[in-house]
Structures are given as structure tokens and as C-alpha cells.
Structure 1
């Protein structure tokens, strides 16, 4: 079971790293998932993630107070707006736009109601 948690953690770190440069992938949730997985599988990987200069502060803010950095909130909002605008530009079907609007609104509500780090 430890191997499954470690594999899921590594996969999550990969998605989080991709999310730094791709506006379609959120970084923070994948880092938090990786931390959760590594805490159950590998103290070495968990400590590496906590000490990481980019990812560590995100985890620390979340663990301390459930907070998200205002800069991360801003970039999440820009990403969501970009994705929705792209869907509009590509003339996605109306039902897809409605589903997207509901889901993305819920994500933004969650993000913006978290305390600032």
C-alpha cells in the first residue's frame, strides 16, 4: 500500500509542476494531495516536499491555517477566466459552458473564502 501512496504522490507532484506553467492545471491542490500521499508512504519524500522552496510554503500555509497565498488566488482566478474564455472562443456547447461555469464558480468560491496566507 505504501507504494501506491508514493506513486500517487509522485504523480501529483508532476501535475503540480506542470500547473506552474500551464494555466489549466491547479498547482496547490496537487501539492496538498502529494503531501498527503507522501505522509502515508515515505518520510523522505514528505520531508523533501516540505523543505522545497516553491512547494513547501504552500503546504505550510495550508497546514497552519487552511490559508492560500493571495498571489496564488490571483493566478487561480486568471487561470479559471482564461479557461472559460477559451471555451467561449472555441464555441463549446452550451451545456458544457453551463457545467464549466458551475464547477469553476464553486472552485473560485472555495479559493476566495480561504484565509490569506
Structure 2
């Protein structure tokens, strides 16, 4: 019973992550890639057929395998993420939010951008 529940929870996380990744493909503020990577990871724990489907997907598969094998991120994805974070930071400056948010969120995004650009490329 315990094993079946654990497998069910991994599957639920995989499906939820996959749904969020698909929403991220059409919603500009929701990142698709982290949720896709999370879906593949969760599927590897409890749904081998879904993991195989993701790894063999013509569009997503090579990127997931590259991330798993080398922690690599395509240069195009790095540029896109950097541009999107910059646009978000600029828009945030014109929003009526506390100064701590206007400074803190861009600082976090800058940290993520630095980390991202230090990743190998595929």
C-alpha cells in the first residue's frame, strides 16, 4: 500500500508539472522549462513510461537529456530568459509595489541570470 501511494504521488507531481509546463508555453510569465524538467524527474521516480515519452519527444527530449547529462542550457534559451527577466524587472519598476520588491526581485533575477550563463551550452 505504501509503495503504491508513493508512486501515485510521484505521478501526480509529474502530471501537475507537465500541465504547468504546457501552460508556461502560452503564458508569458510562467516558465515552462523548469516545470518540464521537474515533470521528467518526477516521472523517473514513479512513471517510467511518461519519462520515456518525455526523453524521446522530438522537441523536448534532447534538451532534457542534455540537462540531465551535462547541466547544459542552449544559448538561445539563455538569451530568451535574460531578455524576459530584464523586461519583467523594468515593468516592475513602474508598478505600485514596495521598494523592497522593486529591488529584491530584480536582484534575484540577476542572480539567476548569472547562474544560467555559467551553465554549459549544448
What is the TM-score of this pair, normalised by structure 2? 0.87
Q: What's the counterpart of residue 72 of structure 1? A: 77
Residue 16 of structure 1: how far off its partner (Å): 1.6
Is 2:27 aligned against 1:25?
no
- Unpaired runs of 5+ in structure 2? 1-5
3-state SS of paired residue (1:116): coil
1:28–1:58 CA contact under 8 A, matched in 2: no
Residue 18 of structure 1: how far off its partner (Å): 2.0
More RCO (CA 8 Å, sep 6+)? 1
Q: Which moved more, 1:21-30 or 1:92-101?
A: 21-30
Aligned residues: 117
What is the TM-score of this pair, normalised by structure 1? 0.90
Q: What's the counterpart of residue 103 of structure 1? A: 108
How many angstroms apart in 1 are the aligned matches of 2:21 and 2:114? 21
Is 2:29 aligned against 1:11?
no
Is 2:89 aligned against 1:84?
yes
How many angstroms apart in 1 are the aligned matches of 2:86 and 2:25? 16
How many angstroms apart in 2 are the aligned matches of 1:20 and 1:84? 20
Q: 1:79 to 1:23 in 2, by over 3 A?
A: farther
Higher Cα Rg, which structure = 2
- Unpaired runs of 5+ in structure 1? none
